[in-house]
Amino acid sequence: MTRATLRTTRTALLLAVVAASLSSAAFAQSDQRKLVSAATFTLAGFLNDPDMRWLKNNFNRAKAVLIAPQIAKAGFIIGGSGGRALVLARNEKTGKWTGPAFYVLATGSVGFQAGVSVSETVSLVMTEKGLDSLLSSSFKFGGDVSVAAGPIGTGAQSDLVADFVSFSRSKGIYGGLSLDGTVATTADSWNRQYYGHAVSVPDILIRESVHQKQSNELINVVAAAAKKS
C-alpha cells in the first residue's frame, strides 16, 4: 500500500468515525427532543382548557414550570408511577424563560389498587423554595417541598399557597394524579445528551450558559402564557 493510499484510507476511516459520532449524538438527542415536543403539546393543551383558569391566571407569578407529558401509573396491591419531566425557569430580572432541564419522576405506593392510567401534568413553581429544590440532585414532593392540586373550573380559589401547584389530566381507572410522595431526580445523562456536553441544572436554569434551538417553540409558549396571565 502506497503512502498516498494509506493517507486516503486513514482519512476515510477518520471521516467515518466522525460521521458515526455525529449520528450517535443525533440519535441520543432524539428522546430528549421528543419529550420537548410532547411537553409543548401538553402545555398548549392545558392552556387551551377552559377548566384551567387558575393555571392561566397565575402563570405570570410562577418562578418555573414543570411539565410531564406522560406519567404512567400502574398497580395491583403494590403500585407506583413514573415518567420523565422537564423544567423551564424564569429570570426574575429580565423575565426571560430558560431551559429545559430534564428530570425523572418516580413514586411507590401500597394499597388496594388495580389498573393502569397515564397522566399528563403541568406544575407551577410558586416559591423560591420550590425553585431551589429543582437545583438539587433530588427532592420529594410533600416532603422537601409542599405540593397542592391545582384548582379546576371557573370557581377555583385564588388564595392557594404551596411551593408547587400541580394540574393533571388522565384517562383510565385512576382519577387525577397527585405528585404528593413523588421523588424528582435530575436526569444528568439526558441533560448532557441534549446539550452535547456535561451541564448542571443551575447552568441551564440559573446561569443560562446553554441553549438548544429545538426548545424555542416550547419557550415561546411558556413566555406567551406568562404575558397573558
pLDDT in tens, 108-159: 765 545 555 678 999 999 999 999 999 999 999 999 999 999 888 865 566 7
pLDDT in tens, 177-222: 678 889 999 999 999 999 999 999 999 999 999 999 999 999 999 9
Task: Give the per-residue pLDDT at 8.
Answer: 45
Between CA 99 and CA 212 the distance in angstroms is 8
Torsion angle (degrees, nearest 10) of CA 76, 79, 83, 86: 140
Q: What's the pLDDT band for 161 if we cut at 50, 70, 90? A: confident
Q: Share the mean pLDDT of the chain.
A: 83
Task: Give the per-residue pLDDT at 173.
Answer: 41
Give the other-Cβ count within 10 Å of 217's Cβ.
14
Task: Give the per-residue pLDDT at 75.
Answer: 58
Task: Give the per-residue pLDDT at 97.
Answer: 98
Q: Tell me the C-alpha to C-alpha distance, in Å, between residue 60 and each of 81, 126, 223.
A: 30, 10, 9
